[in-house]
Amino acid sequence: MDEPRPLSFRALAAVVVAFAVAMAYLESAVVVYLQRALGITPDTLFPLRSADMVGSFAAIEVGREAATIVMLATIGCIAGRRWMDRLAWSAVAFGAWDIAYYGWLWVFLGWPHSPLSWDVLFLIPVPWAGPVWAPLAVSVALIGFGLAGAREVAAGRLRRVGIRNVALAAAGGVVVVLSFCLDGPSLMSGALPAPFAWPVFMAGMVIAGSAAGAALRDARRASVL
């Protein structure tokens, strides 16, 4: 019996994105139900209610967010064959999920009203907050670099990534996360968000993007030599 042929790169990308979009629908629907049950709307997220930040509800919400990351990483691991393309496909899944999540919320609620609308992005380990354009920018970068990296691995050009590029990409990611978390402690105490630290955010994006771009350029040069 002939072995089944592996999916083409385009077909695999379509499957990963379809999973992410469907998962985003499910999660955005859950968020709508939670907000209706709690009597809040996206326009009244801030100041955060202290009752929602402690106890069993907070634990459930943190668990839901952790489960989301596990599921997105799982589809990446299934799609890839080596750690590099598994990471790349996980990035594609995360980016597509995040963009589709806000898209579905707009369909269901008419929110976000604009890319400048503020949102609570994450709760681990403190609340992350920022204007919607910032996570969307991260997601676009994840999809772009993720697809490029997965394609290079599939073509046999990207076999390893230098430790310097890995360290710089990780450092850039930490700086981006920091830009979302700087206000976390004050938000937990009931304060309104401070102006977004966009210079910190942009610095992290440039560092991480430069490292990812350098890794892709190194792979192409190595394939020519």
Per-residue pLDDT at 94 exceeds 80: yes
CA dist 69 and 99 (Å) reads: 15
Tokens representing 22? 């469907």
Phi-psi region of 192 (alpha: psi -120 to 50; beta: other; left: phi over 0): beta
How sure is the predictor about 4, in pLDDT bands with cuts at 50, 70 and 90?
Answer: low
C-alpha distances (whole Å) from 41 to each of 57, 122, 134, 195 are 17, 17, 21, 21
* Interaxial angle between packed helices 55-79 and 83-109, expressed in degrees from 0 to 180 and rounded to the nearest 10: 130
So what's the pLDDT on residue 3?
Answer: 59
Question: pLDDT tens digits, residue range 151-185?
Answer: 998 888 877 788 899 999 999 999 999 999 998 88
pTM exceeds 0.85 for this model: yes
To which residue do tokens 């050009």 refer? 157
**What is the rounded average pLDDT of the residues 20-42?**
89
* Interaxial angle between packed helices 133-154 and 198-224, expressed in degrees from 0 to 180 and rounded to the nearest 10: 10
Tokens representing 93? 């899944």
Q: Is 177 helix (H, G, I), strand (E, B) or coil?
A: helix
